[in-house]
Structure 1
Amino acid sequence: MRASGSSIGALLGVFAGRSRCQCGLLGCGGSGRAVVGGLVDLGRLGGRYEPAVVGALAVLWGKSRERAGGTTSLLMAHLLDTAAVAELLWEDFLAPSTRSALNEVAGGPDRGRRLFAWLCGVHDCGKATPVHQRLWPEGAEAVRQSGLTWVESAAVAGVKNKRRWRHDWAGGLVARELLTAAGWGPEQVDWTWPLVAGHHGAFPSLKDVQEPGSAKGQLRGRGVWRRVQEAVVDAFTGELGFGGLGEVEPVAVPSRALQLQLSGLVVMADWIASDERHFQGIDDLERVSLGESRGRAAKAWAALGLQHGWGALALPGPEAFLDRFGYTPRPSQAMVVEAARRIGGPGLMVIEAPMGEGKTEAAHAAAEVLAARFGADGVFVGMPTQATSDPMFTRTRRWLGAVDPELASRVVLLHGKRAFNSEWKELLENAGASADEAFRGVDEYGMDDDPYGVGHAECGEQERHAPAEWFLGPKRGLLAPFVVGTVDQLLYAATRTRHVMLRMAGLAGKVVVLDEVHACDVYMGQFLGEALRWLGQAGVPVVALSATLAPAQRQALFEAYLAGAASRAELEVCVPAPAGYPSVTAAWLDDARQPQFHTDSTDSWRADLPVAVGVLPERLPGAGSSREDRLRLQAEADAAVADLLAEELAGGGTALVIRNSVGRAQSLYEELRGRFGEAEVRLLHARFTVARRADLTEECLRLLGPRAPRPRGGRLILVATQLAEQSFDVDADLLVTDLAPVDLLLQRMGRLHRHEGTWRPERLRAPKAFVTGFEPRPGREPVFGYGSEMIYGRHLLLRTAAVLPVPGGDWSFPGDVPRLVESVYGSDAALVPEAWRETGEAARQAQEQADRGRAAVARGFLLTGPGDHERRTLAGLHYAGSGGSDEDALRAAVRDGDESVEVVLVVRQEGDEVYRTLAGRALSVNGDVAAEVLDEVVGSTVRLPPSLTQPALGLKPLPGWHGHPWLRRARALVLDGSGRARVGDFTVSYDAEFGLRQL
């Protein structure tokens, strides 16, 4: 093997010393054809291929002048650029676990690097075909003049009859044939060619990559084209230092999950090498070499500022917990860390502990141990909602900063409204970056993937104290080393959508932490199970947290992960039930590929806390009630809550009131504001604008969060919806809540007396909770509010109502939590009173039927098709096409349809010529948005009630928003001077105090 520092052109001696004519070919002598004499003695390729074939390397284009900084980029240059980027990914980005796995596939230590570079670089071999070379007229003419021709009419017919057949699928076919001819084993060929064929986001089947018959060979190319394709791959392979294509062959077949991760890394390398700022075109084969590409890649890498995570992390010692969090671990936290030390391989750990126990710190500490033991380079923390992701972003940055001060600046916040998180904005603004810069990928032609990209900020080579901007582009967030976001980001990786491989590439090599896993309902649970299968097969350690996990959910989590780890469609396992609470359960596969378990439990850090649970009955309207009756009964219910709060808070204190709907929360807030005054009441729900909601959330955490000062005798009431249910670290003396399934009810009660050292009024020294929102009926089943039944279903509400304590009774926290959850989510029909059982059985059957239907719908979006979990390759992974990959489409897929649409609120008063922001700042007659008011306009986004989804679909962007990168697809809702607007046949209003209301 030779050194790879010299150019390919110089090595071959192609056309050395010859001049260039107007056609752009070296040494054509003005004939339009390359001079090929004398090549037989000029290097390995010259001895294997006829001169016309070797000369084709000087004209085959990879990127047009328009997409390569003004100079045509030869195909060979792009292949080598991508390989050079891959080498840097290996050295400075890949997790130790990934490098180890690739070394094993390649046949030994230090062999994976070169195989990885080859896999990344060969991705565009399909561009050595007419299907690609014909796309750019200027390049096509040069290729034709070199002697490579095709029949255009047949090529056009082939494209029309099979529209999707382009260079990526052509490359899959080329790679498959060349690898087979080189003597590769069928099992190695079968997993390799889909990486080439799928590098633009979707994996075809073997049938798909066959050239359409109507093209008559004019898309793949006939005659000399086949030799040219062989020469391209041969030249590229030799430049990487291989003696021939046969020498590249791996010795082991990687798991399907590793293949998917590899595919994502191929895409990543391709996208970086396609950035014309750093890889301007090279149209002279004399300049093309791996050495040249390495120099270009090094400069690009430095400019982009791409960062890895921990790297080779040392196993933290016993003192680490105190160093990270400032206190010695509680018994449950020490138990979790010890389990992470004892687990026999990458596996799944489930932590079950009460609210306020410190599960987050335990999970962070366990993740650090797991990363050190199993070679992970970062962490993904998935939260149930955007609102819970924001405080977790702060806590995760604080933890990583304690590990290494440099790491805190590398954390990416990943959800749709992150631009309104003040800490995220400050992090990026301090680095001179945009909060959400749009970046270009590569389309199916190897060109721009985002015509609406707003450009790129030059990072330079200076030290950067923020996540690299490259990670802020679409589909790239999970590739950052440390990520906090909604669990949706994980669920997206389980969907059959374009570029799903980028998401798996981002998750593999990390430790995955999932908080509040019980919040995934039967629909979302399908995607969670699919994701756990892939993570299990990829050997990704997963830490799942819950305060109220039903036994069936626990069983499903372990079955999915272990089936994936075993590469089995199904795997029956007997998951041991925890003996106590808090508890930890861990599972992994041993060397014989058999499941192993570790379980442990301990006492909580504080003694059981009895919570007095009372019922505040509410009269509810019957079917067919008039609007007047409904309003009257709602006012009656609001007054009853106000009376209760006046009595219980007579000596001061804080109360949290959780309503199951925004309308009920707004109605109650209006009553309480009139009774107690604006200074003592707050309102928080999901129908404030995103900017206002972010401000209100911060204020609530400041007033009721940890270490918040409480003036003696002071009084504060927070009226909220389910936003306050999970991962919302506030402390209240008193809870009033609508009835919800028992696990959610317990979550809400977890906000009671949450923090130590907080002043409590005498009357509330012991925590109290009152459950309302339903109407008990002696001798009959209770009546539930219409909204509550629509959200939660009658089955679980009936069973939860059945376990409420008798008057004067209490629940013990945390001691009663596992028993209550197991009872309600169990199958014992005797749980409900005999008088309810007929109704209860009907409700159970209806719920099971609905669950089966929802699960079936979800399975239609899953990444793996029915019966395909034991397949060995990625071929046909996108078996029924790929769904939309924008944020809205994905959210709709994993959350059972988007519950409503979002609109941007603007104001236009009667007689006013211009549109204005909610704060009154002028836009224009067309709504054009100046840069200084963009944040204000985008911050005025609000989600409409589900009942308005259909009429809201008719709303359009303002004329001045067309073409704007952020607003071009936004629906504008224009309010009048009184803050009102019509949406179809409905009227809504908006103000900063109540949010959006449907009148």
Structure 2
Amino acid sequence: MNLLVSHMLDAAAVGELLWDCYVAPSTQVWLDQVAGGPGRGRALLSWLCGVHDCGKATPAHQRLWPEGARAVQEAGLRWREVTTANVRWRHDRAGGSVLRSVLNEEGWLPEHVDWVWPLVAGHHGLFPAEGQLAEPLKARGQLRGRSAEWQRAQRGLLQWFSRALGFAGVADVEPVVVPSRAAQLHLSGLVVMADWIASDEKYFEGVDDLDKVSMDGARERAKRAWVDIGLRGGWGRLSAPSECLFQTRFGQDPRASQLAVLEAAWAMEAPGLLVVEAAMGEGKTKAALAAAEVLAARFGADGVFVGMPTQATSDPMFTQVRSWAKNIDGELAGQVALLHGKRMFNKEWAALLKADSGLVDRFAGVDEYGMSCEDDEFGLAPVSRTPADEVPERQAPAQWFLASKRGLLCPFVVGTIDQLLFAATRTKHVMLRMAGLAGKVVILDEVHAADVYMSQFLREGLRWLGQARVPVVLLSATLPARQRRELIDAYLLGAATKEEADFPAPPEPAVYPRVTAAWMDTDSVEPRFVTRKARSWRSDTPVRVEVLPEPVPHVGADADQRESARSAGERAVAELLEQRLAEGGCALVIRNTVARAQSTFEELRERFGEDVRLLHARLTVKDRAERTEDCLKLLGPPAKSGEEPDRPLRLIVVATQLAEQSFDVDADLLVTDLAPIDLLLQRIGRLHRHPGTSRPAPLQAPSVVVTGFDDCGRQPPRFLYASEKIYSRYLLLRTAAELVGTETWSIPGQVPELVDRVYSGALLVPSSWAEAAEDARVEWKREQTTRAASAAPFLLTRSGEHEAPTLAGLHADGASGGGSESLMEAVVRDGERGTEVILVVADGDRYRTLAGRALGPNGEVPEPVVDDVLGCTVRLPPKLSTAAVDNCRVLPGWQAHPWLRHSLALELDTHHRTQLGNVVIHYDAELGLVEENE
């Protein structure tokens, strides 16, 4: 048995450690202001962490354990069991009700009662509305306790607890300032964090004697748990960076555009939004990390979150951020977490975890009864505990941080932008995600990649970050002006706590690269802007733009006609490459679909043999990682600055959109399917990327060949069906119009102009296209409106509630979305993204991996084969998801394995084939996953 007062003091003691060792200096500043002066913020945080379970001082909770219930009733606190037996009242809601009553009796001002009780009522992840607090009518007051003795016990508990923390009583705790709603959500996350830590029975053993309950004892237990689990914050209070920041962090002098970013960061008078627009390869990420140091030093942030567009782009960024953190303080590299669903396949991350194995126990969360509950979405294996005085220096963040919903609580995090988008969803325990972002500097790369659906969550997240006064740095090479304005307005609306406002437009320097800083003045009344501009580190380069028309089957074409058109298009690309690479060279061919990339690869392989590589998203994670590494080795930057890359004589990489973002390869020639102008320019960013690279004479000038649509003559072009499905006919038409009559683009200087013309509506299509373009615009607008509206049910804040003063009712309609990472991806990325499966070969009475390594009869995986099995993970296309769920299962031998117990096995025959629904698929060593009858 553990006395309730003992657990409350334990949680309060953890709250003190959160203040001393974890929360950011900026958090301490506003908490002191809320509490009424320097030093009072620590005590208030501790009190809030401990008071969370006051709802257990009710018959509703005390009756749950028969032996304890008898002891309570014998002490004179009674209830009618026959009335309460069939009625439920959760202790979190009971706590909100009890606390609300006691605080009112103690004379707290209504505005402070109103924001504090939701922290208690919502500490199990969902914030009810005030009307949802009351006990059920059927209970007739028995669950709350109708007698005067119960009311006296509840008041006495809160008075005793408050005095144990050093307050004169409950009345003495009352704050003096109502914090913002975002700050309340941050506080709520800290309360949940304290509760989960203090509920770990390994460190907080039960105390069943009131004479043994003390704050000193709670502090000893909390300190032991804190050290043994290995929790810590970031860099604490960071000193202002010196003028040689770039040299000490990155070993190089800053470019003009990077200096402009730092100047804008220094010019900001309050935490705000920094929008950095610069060409691919300009060094935006390094500028953002340096700016993060400036912003952290000025505004008290204690860490960084770097959000990337994809899992693949997160992995190299993880390495870069660890190097940067190490140059600040050698210990900080071990506090950087990689946060995405495939991080177990990152060799660097896996090695760090292996080095730390055996240091700590795993602990997930607690259920409504205070019992441990396992909710681990990343499959962390349980490990043995090492005594606190023997814990060596950690190579990775404490494993406590790495379980479900807690990754953002790490001091430094690199992950997909989805992690920020999750924090903008009305989901259970969203407060933990906000607590992980608040107090950090947030950096988001490639923000232009967010489509209209994802943008709803991005803007909602920026609203909350703006209100929380979190400095944010947005990076983009091709950001449309309208999207820039929407992102800035979202942050400012949050900072001003406004549902709507007519803010002045920020200045738009015509020069590129450019930096825009925006923040609210100290009174949160007017926005302030600062802009900086700079010359690119490299001069504008004329890129030759060519169109390679491709026959596109008309609607209703039969299979033979479609195959003939496909073959003709593949031959045209192959013949062009034969001509252009006659003297050697390295080409990148980007296709808009996996099937199209596979078909092109087969055609080119027949002509160029081993000089062709294929990279797409339907490879197993092992194959994809190895091929990506191979491409970067062959076409990436030199290992040492100033060295000439060691490139192959001839190489062709055929890829899908994977090559579009943060794929640091240098191609002599680019052949690409048509895509919207911003994405087309991203692809061009792979052309002649690394200075000093030797190239064959015919390829000395950068050239892009655009295909995937028929001749741009007098009639509007026809586009491939799949391309229209992905990108919309409207944007493809306008981009195609930009290509008509174009011979060269000046890159990077012309990038903003090209993007704005296509997206702003200023670009005029040829008159013969006008009707088709208008029809496409109407359809695109309708689709955009529909997709934006479909995100509304999942957003953290409903329309019209952005000016709400408290968290009450945040989850009044229940949580939306799912809890696991895969379900959450579907929520923030517009629907099902396809089912992930692990490919295994059913070979008679046993199973094998794709590589032929043997598994047990029920799929049991020997330890040396685990990586091989996990490496066979592949994502099926969405259209096969239903059939996959019907045909796949967790193998019996996987059910006890921490990394495989939730994994579906797709059983292939010995020829690596199977049928899903009416589709026959097979996994080919060269092509990857192939739909044979697509």
TM-score, normalization by structure 1: 0.90
Which residue of 2 is the match for residue 339 of structure 1? 264
1:659 alignment partner, one of 569, 586, 591: 591
CA contact (8 A) 1:304 1:460 kept: no
Counterpart of 1:68? Answer: none
Contact preservation (8 Å) 1:305, 1:459: no
**Residue pairs, 1:309-708, within 5 angstroms:** 309-432=234-357, 439-450=363-374, 455-461=382-388, 462=391, 463-573=393-503, 574-593=505-524, 594-678=526-610, 680-707=611-638
Judged with a 3 Å threshold, the aligned counterparts in structure 2 of structure 1 residues 451 and 732 are, in CA distance, closer, same or farther, namely closer
What is the SS of the residue equivalent to 2:794? coil
Counterpart pick for 2:102 among 160, 168, 178: 178
Shifted more, 944-953 versus 550-559: the winner is 944-953
| Aligned residue identity for 2:827 | A
Q: Is the 8 A contact 2:307 2:445 kept in 1?
A: yes
CA contact (8 A) 1:96 1:311 kept: yes
> Mapping of 1:809-958 within 5 angstroms?
809-828=743-762, 831-883=764-816, 884-909=818-843, 912-954=844-886, 955-958=888-891
Q: Quote the offset at 1:280 in angstroms.
A: 1.3
- Match of 1:200, SS state, is coil
Question: Take 1:96 and 1:254, find their aligned partners in 2: how far apart are those partners?
Answer: 16
Distance 1:803 1:439 in 2: 56
CA distance in 1, matches of 2:327, 2:306: 17
**Would the aligned equivalents of 1:652 and 1:712 in 2 still touch at CA under 8 Å?**
no
**Aligned partners of 2:132, 2:658: CA distance in 1, in Å?**
46
The aligned residue for residue 659 of structure 2 is 724
Per-residue deviation, 1:628: 3.1
Equivalent position SS for 1:866: coil
1:50 corresponding residue in structure 2:
none
- Where structure 1 has 5 or more consecutive residues not aligned to the other structure, the ranges are 1-71, 160-164
* Structure 1 residues 793-833: Cα deviation after superposition (integer angstroms, max 9, x where no partner): 000000000001526x11110111011000000123x6111
- Distance 1:759-1:433 versus aligned 2 partners, 3 A rule: farther
State yes or no: 1:217 paired with 2:217. no
Residues 579 and 600 in structure 1, CA contact (< 8 A), matched pair in contact too:
no
Q: 1:121 to 1:712 in 2, by over 3 A?
A: closer
The worse-fitting range, judged by mean Cα deviation, of 859-868 and 927-936 is 927-936
1:553-586 deviation digits (Å, cap 9, x = unpaired): 0010011000000011112221221231000000
Read off the aligned partner of 2:757 and give its amino acid letter.
S
Looking at structure 2, the residues matched to 684 and 157 of structure 1 have their Cα atoms a distance apart, in angstroms, of 59
Aligned pair 1:156/2:91, yes or no?
no
Distance 2:307 2:358 in 1: 25
| Superposition deviation, residue 409 in structure 1 | 1.4
1:997 aligns with 2:930: yes
After TM superposition, give the deviation of residue 713 of structure 1 in Å.
6.8
Return the match for 1:115 from 44, 58, 63: 44
Q: Distance in 1 between matches of 2:386 and 2:454?
A: 39
Q: Is the 8 A contact 2:358 2:383 kept in 1?
A: no
Q: CA deviation at 1:401?
A: 1.3
- Going from structure 1 to structure 2, the CA distance change for 1:457 and 1:783 (only over 3 Å counts) comes to farther
1:754 aligns with 2:689: yes
Distance change >3 Å, CA 418–CA 673, structure 1 → 2: same
Match in the other structure for 1:801 = 736
Please, which of 690, 701, 706 is the counterpart of residue 766 of structure 1? Answer: 701
Number of equivalences: 917
SS in 2 for 1:860: helix
SS at match of 2:365: coil
CA distance in 1, matches of 2:686, 2:362: 39
Share of identical aligned residues, percent? 59
What residue identity is the alignment partner of 1:970? S
Q: Secondary structure at the match of 2:341?
A: coil
Q: In structure 1, the residue corresponding to 2:586 is in which secondary structure?
A: strand
Measured on the aligned residues, the alpha-carbon RMSD in Å equals 1.6
The answer to whether the aligner puts 1:743 opposite 2:668 as a matched pair is: no
Q: Structure 1 640/199 Cα, relative in aligned 2: closer, same or farther at 3 Å?
A: same
Cα deviations across residues 503-528 of structure 1 (Å, max 9, x unaligned)? 00000000000000000111000000
Q: 1:566 to 1:754 in 2, by over 3 A?
A: same
Correspondence for 1:90: 19
* Aligned counterparts, 1:255-294, within 5 A: 255-294=180-219
Distance, in Å, in 1 between the alignment partners of 2:346 and 2:894 is 24
Residues in 1 aligned to 2:840 and 2:647: alpha-carbon distance in whole angstroms:
42
Shift of 1:449: 2.4
Moved more, 263-272 or 645-654: 645-654
Amino acid at match of 1:278: Y
Deviation at 1:476, TM superposition (A): 0.6
- Offset from partner CA, 1:862-896 (integer Å, 9 cap, x none): 00012100000000001310122211221111000
Offset of 1:654 from its aligned partner?
1.1
Greater Cα radius of gyration, structure 1 or 2: 1
Deviations 1:603-636, CA, capped at 9 Å, x for gaps: 1111101111101111112222233332332222
CA contact (8 A) 2:357 2:383 kept: no
Alignment partner, residue 147 of structure 1: 76
| Structure 1: distance between partners of 2:323 and 2:666 | 21
Q: CA deviation at 1:437?
A: 8.7
How many angstroms apart in 2 are the aligned matches of 1:950 and 1:124? Answer: 43
Change (3 A) 1:895 1:276: same
Amino acid at match of 1:190: D
From the superposition, tell whether residues 438 and 495 of structure 1 become closer, same or farther in structure 2 (CA, over 3 Å): farther
Q: Offset of 1:201 from its aligned partner?
A: 0.3
Q: Is the 8 A contact 1:158 1:213 kept in 2?
A: no
Cross-structure match for 1:981: 914
Q: Aligned pair in 2 of structure 1 residues 276, 997: CA closer, same or farther (>3 Å)?
A: same
CA 855–92 in structure 1, closer or farther in 2 if over 3 Å, else same: same
Match for residue 73 of structure 1?
2
TM-score normalised per structure 2: 0.96
Displacement of 1:706 = 1.1
- Evaluate the alpha carbon distance shift between residue 554 and residue 635 of structure 1 in structure 2; reply closer, same or farther with a 3 A threshold: same
Q: After superposition, give the CA deviation of every residue in 1:336-392 in whole Å (9 maximum; x if it has no partner).
A: 001101111100010000001111111111111000000000000000000111111
**Deviation at 1:842?**
0.6
Q: Does 1:306 align with 2:240?
A: no
Quick one: which of 117, 122, 125 aligns to 1:201?
A: 125
Gap runs ≥5 in structure 2 = none
Q: C-alpha deviations, 1:578-598, integer Å up to 9, x for none? A: 231000000111123210000
CA distance in 1, matches of 2:925, 2:156: 67
Q: Give the aligned partner of residue 961 of structure 1.
A: 894
Q: Equivalents in 1 of 2:361, 2:627: separation in Å?
A: 26
